[in-house]
Amino acid sequence: MREFFGLEGPFNKYGGMIADMVLVSLMWLLFCLPIITIGASTTAMFYVTTRRIADREGYITSDFWFAFKNNMRKATILWLIIFVVLVLLFMNLLLLTNEEVTFEGGIFGIVLPAQLVFLFMISIMSVYIYPLMARFDMGLVQVVKSAFYMSVRHFLTSVCCVVMAVAAFFLFLRFPPLILVAPGLYAWLASYMIMKVFKKYRPEMDRDPAAEIAEIEAKKAEERWKRERETPEPSDSEE
């Protein structure tokens, strides 16, 4: 029992994780209130969760505010673009499914699937857009290109994250108090999978700075040793 409640015990470890999820969720909700800042708030949330998974030191509140402030412009622009596209898609879908609206020929069988595919692609791309902005210094076009590539290249991860997001949304609708933990829980679970994808392209990501410095010093020492071995020793000249 003492081990269970100890500093390194499961109670302290998982209790602290749940508390962090609640704090992240509350901050995400607070910074989403103007609606226009949802993108920046989501980016900040993923900045916090991906760093915690990598055991990077820091405080949740200061890390959240740092990422929110630094990504405000880019995240807001992308969020507004995505929001407008989603509104247009949903309006088109409502129009297509309206019984009073008729379409000539077979256009219905083409337009409706195309709209659904486009909606699905935006959904899986959104899985990577905000984490990419949170952890990498990229332009808007590069973020979209990278998100599209990763969403297709790592299709299973993309679908799993979308399913988790949809499940979290419906759980919230059924049990509204879950809003206090659902955003942070989703971000934490999604970050585990997303970070595995990121590290396929950036293996050195989130490495311990001390270990990296030690490795660099070891390589320099090895290079000096090789140069010393390759340099011939001076011989005594006979008079």
C-alpha–C-alpha distance, residues 91 and 130, integer Å = 25
State pLDDT tens for residues 166-216.
988 888 888 888 888 888 889 999 999 999 999 888 887 766 545 445 555
State pLDDT tens for residues 126-137.
999 999 999 998
- Comparing CA positions, the residue from 134, 128, 206, 132 lying closest to residue 160 is 128
C-alpha–C-alpha distance, residues 200 and 164, integer Å = 22
Q: Are 133 and 143 in contact (CB under 8 A)?
A: yes
The pLDDT score that the predictor gives to residue 1 is 52
- What b/e string do you get for 100-119 counting C-beta neighbours within 10 Å, with b at 16 or more? eeeeeeeeeeeeeeebeeee
% of the chain beyond a pLDDT of 70: 77
- Comparing CA positions, the residue from 94, 97, 85 lying closest to residue 123 is 85
The pLDDT score that the predictor gives to residue 238 is 47
Q: Are 198 and 205 in contact (CB under 8 A)?
A: yes
Regions in the chain scoring below 50 on pLDDT: 4-7, 100, 209, 211-212, 237-239
